[in-house]
Structure 1
Amino acid sequence: MTLLGIEEEFLLVDQDALFPVAPTKHQTAALQHIAVAGGQATLEWLRCQIEHASAVLGDTQTATEALLAFRQELAAVTRQFNIAAVPVGAAPRIDGRGATISDADRYLQLAELAPGIAADQYINGMHVHVTIPNPEAGVQALNGLRPWLPLLTALSANSPFWQGRDSGFASWRTIHYRRWMVSGMPPYFQDFEDYTRRVEALLASDVVTDHGGICWLARLSHRHPTIEVRACDVQLQVSDAVVLAALIRGLVSAAVDQPPRSQPQVELLDVSLWQAAKFGLTGRLLDPFSGTPYPAKKLVWQAFQHALPYIEAFGDDELVRAGLELLLAEGTGATRQRAVYQCEGIPGVLRYAAEASTARHRRLPDTHETRTSTSSSDDAGHPSGLAS
């Protein structure tokens, strides 16, 4: 059986000032003790971040309940400290005092190496692990997944704001992350021996100190028998996170079974990733094989059809189809953040994101643009406060 693991990163903000906040040692200890459905809370790069690593998940229903339970417990714990955990891909604003790095040797070492990058690494992703039968199959999955990575970034775009204003990108996190030494699109590998040789060459450099410093959008896990897909922003809601994870599992499974029919040129994939980060689903994306621009909707359903036999085998076809239809009809997290911003500014964005985080069903922004279309929905909510 092909299993899943999902990691989500959250930004911690003060409920009153609405700026990122570093918890005290006591508060940090309480956050790290959150353990729900076999998952674990851990420190992230910055002290104003927390990460949830789920248990091994066999099906999407279990994944939904596990992620939702963690988010609800996280909200309950942080509320005691007048803090909210917000699932946004980039901090909409920071207070200018600079980041406080977590007390982990690896993070401190990287901060010393690249202080200009470390100073504003306020970004949050979602990483999806999918089990692979063996390393050779993992390399084949990496090669086959490469053409779809920009589309996954477009589907998951949830970081439009930076430094108090619109960045002009649907996924600013993607652009921000490109500054690190090994990031972006993974190269094409001949086999696992080739993969190992090239990773070892990177580790022998003066700047890549461990396997964690190899930050391609997809890589083989050094600790688990999985391929780790890192192309996604953290999601506003659990429902979107699970739909993306199910699609990723289908695409990985298809890549394991079916060698790619062709390999897109690396420069084409790179510009396609930039385009996905810029427009999300609102514009056109490059067809990864022909290089021709197509409406995003066309490529979404192309990817779905490619993975459909495997998605059906996992029993996820209705969930993924409905989830993709919602994303195309109602917009990604970036679209929803921008809708709130038009009426309520950055504070409203943070309030909406915090409330949406623990909602079981889709919560659209209660703005002038969406009020009519969602007035009959029980799930339409108003971003009235961080704590509810």
Structure 2
Amino acid sequence: MSESFARLSPAVSMGIEEEFLLIDRELMLPATPTVHQSNALQDIRPGQGATSQEWLSCQVEHASAVLQDAPAATTALLRFRQNLASVAEGFGLIAAPIGTAPTIAEFGAAVSNDPRYRQMTDLAPGIAADQYINGMHVHVSVPDPETGIRALNGIRRWLPLLTALGANSPFWRGLDSGFASWRSIHYRRWMVNGVPPAFRDFTDYENRIDALVNSDVVADRGGISWLARLSQLHPTIEIRACDVQLQVLDAVVLATLIRALVCAAIDQPSRVQPEPELLDVAHWQAAKFGLSSRLLDPFTGAPVLADVVVWQAFNQAWPYLVEFGDEELVRSGLELFLAQGTGATRQRKMAQLSGLTGVINHSGGAIADTERPPLASSHRPDPVRY
């Protein structure tokens, strides 16, 4: 870790956006917009975050305030989720932190009145009608646009792993999709998605963005849905690879890991970029398997066991995790992911026990759960083993 980063690190903040599905408790289907019409959700503002309606009337999004550390992130997410669960319960609804809707009504939910959502629905109604997907976006502050480009170029190789770790959307229209993150596959249907290209500098980035927006199908910069991009509203890089997480602990572990990987990308830029087609197939593979099979090594491109890539990322992030005081949190969180699986694994286990109804009810109960189940094994790797 360089001396320049050590001086900068106290100013590296993060923000977390989470999207949730509102499900009718009796019908076990995505809910009507009644709760939105009451303004009850918009009144939830713990920690000065912001709450808004997402793409569909059965969705809600929470954007946290600026967060300086993991304890603050845990408190902010937990308070919002507790409030959301309480408000939803009052309307006979379940607030579900799952990446896709396991069951969908024959007649879909209404699209929100946001002009941009309406415009995109008019452009691609067949895709928009299926937008029952919920993600978690992590913002990490950057001091200037050129540093943001360095972060973008450096985080590219880790985006497939983040997709795998954050996989929490196996079910779709009453069936197992065969993917750990069906949300990731669904999202690939939009006009600009996937791993972003490598950029020479911020001017190159702006020129490419302008060219896309000048096309007939990208209405504005918000339509550029790369897995990582520079925020158009905040001085941040936005990482969009993860599904919304079942539990607060999962979300905070991923967010703090992402912050450390962004810091590593800024502080130790790589001279060699992975080929775009390799990252594209690595993302698909990560969405398919999560952590249950092999992933592509982000440096060699060879298929390796998932835990090898997980601890490669931990090793890359380790000096910055130590700097922020997040080392033990992320180490134990990654151990938990490897020992007991991602949210997709846990959803599938619940489906075996009690079907999709059980999945929905379980997710509603997990939304504000802070208890960690015990580790199935004790796997404590040397942080410099890879």
Q: Find out whether 1:134 has 2:130 as its counterpart.
A: no
Q: Normalization by structure 1: what TM-score?
A: 0.93
Report the equivalent of 1:263. Answer: 273
In the TM superposition, what whole-angstrom CA distance separates every residue of 1:32-59 from its partner, at most 9, and x where no partner exists? 1111111111110001000000000000
Residue type matched to 2:150 in 1? Answer: Q
Q: Find out whether 1:167 has 2:177 as its counterpart.
A: yes
Q: Which of 323, 326, 331 pairs up with 1:321?
A: 331
Report the equivalent of 2:26. Answer: 16
- Bigger Cα displacement from structure 2, 226-235 vs 204-213: 204-213
Residue type matched to 1:32 in 2? Answer: Q
Report the equivalent of 1:294. Answer: 304
Residue type matched to 1:235 in 2? Answer: Q
Please report how far the alpha carbon of residue 22 of structure 1 lies from its aligned counterpart in structure 2 after TM superposition: 2.1
Aligned 8 A contact 1:285 1:293 in 2: yes
Distance 2:280 2:270 in 1: 18
Report the equivalent of 1:220. Answer: 230
Paired-residue identity, %: 62
Q: Which of 50, 62, 66 pairs up with 2:76?
A: 66
Please report how far the alpha carbon of residue 277 of structure 1 lies from its aligned counterpart in structure 2 after TM superposition: 0.2
Please report how far the alpha carbon of residue 26 of structure 1 lies from its aligned counterpart in structure 2 after TM superposition: 5.9
Q: Find out whether 1:274 has 2:284 as its counterpart.
A: yes
* Match runs of 1:235-274 below 5 Å: 235-274=245-284
Distance 1:115 1:29 in 2: 27
Distance 2:316 2:62 in 1: 30
Please report how far the alpha carbon of residue 99 of structure 1 lies from its aligned counterpart in structure 2 after TM superposition: 3.0
The DSSP-based 3-state class of the residue aligned with 1:37 is helix
Report the equivalent of 2:357. Answer: 347
Q: How many aligned positions are there?
A: 367
Please provide the CA RMSD for this pair. 1.4
Aligned 8 A contact 1:41 1:50 in 2: yes
In the TM superposition, what whole-angstrom CA distance separates every residue of 1:281-325 from its partner, at most 9, and x where no partner exists? 000000122111100000000000001101110000000000000
Q: Normalization by structure 2: what TM-score?
A: 0.93
Distance 2:302 2:314 in 1: 19
Distance 2:38 2:274 in 1: 45
- Bigger Cα displacement from structure 2, 22-31 vs 93-102: 22-31
Q: Return 5+ residue gaps in structure 1 as ranges.
A: 365-369, 375-388
Q: Which of 149, 158, 161 pairs up with 1:151?
A: 161
Please report how far the alpha carbon of residue 261 of structure 1 lies from its aligned counterpart in structure 2 after TM superposition: 3.8
Please report how far the alpha carbon of residue 31 of structure 1 lies from its aligned counterpart in structure 2 after TM superposition: 1.0
Aligned 8 A contact 1:356 1:363 in 2: no
* Match runs of 1:42-81 below 5 Å: 42-81=52-91
Please report how far the alpha carbon of residue 207 of structure 1 lies from its aligned counterpart in structure 2 after TM superposition: 1.2
Distance 2:220 2:42 in 1: 24
- Bigger Cα displacement from structure 2, 233-242 vs 198-207: 198-207
Q: Return 5+ residue gaps in structure 2 as ranges.
A: 1-10, 378-386
Report the equivalent of 1:37. Answer: 47
Please report how far the alpha carbon of residue 27 of structure 1 lies from its aligned counterpart in structure 2 after TM superposition: 4.4
Residue type matched to 2:247 in 1? Answer: Q
Q: Find out whether 1:95 has 2:105 as its counterpart.
A: yes
Q: List structure 1 segments (4+ residues) > 3 angstroms apart after TM superposition.
A: 25-28
Aligned 8 A contact 1:7 1:52 in 2: yes
Report the equivalent of 2:240. Answer: 230
Residue type matched to 2:267 in 1? Answer: D
In the TM superposition, what whole-angstrom CA distance separates every residue of 1:208-263 from its partner, at most 9, and x where no partner exists? 11111000000000110000000000000000000000000000000011111421
Report the equivalent of 1:377. Answer: none
Q: 1:27 to 1:363 in 2, by over 3 A?
A: farther
